[in-house]
Amino acid sequence: MRLDGSLCDAVLRVDEVDFKVRLALVTQEYFLENIKKNPVVSSVCECQPIIANAMKAMYVSNTRHSHLFTRPRLPYSILFAIGFSEESSKNIVETYDSRLDSWMCISSREEQVRIYHGTVYFDGLVYVIGGSDLVEYFNTMCTFDPLDGTWNEAAPMHSRRGHVSVTVLDGFIYAMGGFDGTVSLNTAERYQPSTNQWSLIPSMHEQRSDASAATLNGKIYICGGFSENKHHFTAECFDPYSNQWTLIEPMHMPRSGLGVIALNNQLFAIGGFGGFSRMQSIEAFNPRTNSWRFLSPMLNPRSNFGIEVMDGHLYVIGGCNNKGTTSRCEYYDVYKDEWFHVQNLNISRSAVSCCVVSGLPNVTDYTTERDGLL
């Protein structure tokens, strides 16, 4: 941003400045040295209220949320957290707006309790897959349309899968492992939304219930999990072109109820339960070197939490700590290798799953309104 002749002309058109020049989005140093002191700006009295409002935004709000005092560029990304709440005995959907650092309850499905399910967003719909009501294990799948707020049933899977691992790759939704009520599964299948059909793919090397999966560089990676009283160190990847699973270097620690996510060409395995307590530790896998390394641990130990990447940050949501369910949330800055608190969920929940929805024209339906800020 430069205050050259063309921008000076824009500044003089004060009626447009408030909409086109988001002063509170520039750094404080640049604003003070190059905008506030600019002779053209300082000589136009109509500009002074705009400068004053920008200064108020920069000094009143904290560094991470200084943009709250400017008009957001709509639409933007919203994080959906879906799961059962013991407090309300309902399935609750909460949405998180990182620009306001706030959660809002937007929907519930009272007809069927569903926990230990998987959630993905694909082609305009949120898919909620498998799960359990702690008595029965489901092969069912339902969809949520964020444009009109409606829920619908989709084709069921071939197997019942609670504690299922899910991800999206090349237009397919994959569901892997899980627990069918009797045994932990090594089977896997994928769903094609255009035909509303599931088809089986080759089975994994390990039976994996309560594992976690993510897509990285055209392959699916699944890590950890539980079977036959054993918490797994192991991890494997599926190549859809060769249609084969391959074991990769095992993690340093056994983890079930962990979160797995891809970011910056790395695979992150986070938290989980190793047999004695919930963990804070994190490992990152480099597929080029087939090796894992430890990173800065989370602020809170947790298992069975929601995990997603939004706006370049890695978020972990709720879950179970060593005392019970938690509402605590935090995000990881991959460049700083550091964790930061964010606003807690409205409701403590374990076995929650997440997805990120971007570009909604009705994004304001899923974010709290704060008078005077937007």
186 has pLDDT over 90 = yes
> Band of the pLDDT at 74, cuts 50, 70, 90?
low
Q: What is the pLDDT of residue 33?
A: 76
> Band of the pLDDT at 162, cuts 50, 70, 90?
very high
Global pTM value? 0.81
Most confidently predicted of 52-56, 80-84, 184-188, 322-326: 184-188
| Residues 318-344: tens digit of each pLDDT | 999 999 999 999 999 999 999 999 999
Average pLDDT over residues 345-354: 92
145 has pLDDT over 50 = yes
- Using an 8 Å Cβ cutoff, are 334 and 263 in contact? yes
Q: What is the pLDDT of residue 21?
A: 59
58 has pLDDT over 60 = no
Q: What is the pLDDT of residue 319?
A: 95
103 has pLDDT over 60 = yes
Average pLDDT over residues 207-233: 97
CA–chain centroid gap for 36, Å, is 38
> Band of the pLDDT at 373, cuts 50, 70, 90?
very low
| Residues 198-207: tens digit of each pLDDT | 999 999 999 9
Opening angle at CA 168, ends 166 and 171, nearest 5: 140
Average pLDDT over residues 41-68: 63
Q: What is the pLDDT of residue 91?
A: 75
Q: What is the residue-averaged pLDDT of the chain?
A: 86
Residue 40 to residue 3: CA distance in whole angstroms = 9
88 has pLDDT over 70 = no
Question: Which residues, listed in sequence order, are joined to residue 239 by a DSSP beta bridge?
Answer: 244
Q: Give Cβ neighbours of residue 31 (< 8 Å, ≥ 6 apart).
A: 23, 54, 55, 58
| Residues 127-136: tens digit of each pLDDT | 999 999 889 9
Q: Give Cβ neighbours of residue 145 (< 8 Å, ≥ 6 apart).
A: 124, 125, 126, 151, 152
63 has pLDDT over 70 = no
Q: Which amino acid is at 170?
A: D
Average pLDDT over residues 251-280: 97
Say which range, 118-122, 209-213, 368-372, has the weakest mean pLDDT.
368-372
Helix (H, G, I), strand (E, B) or coil at 93: strand
Q: Which residue has the higher pLDDT, 182 or 68?
A: 182
Three-state DSSP string of 162-183: ECCEEEEECCEEEEECCECCCC
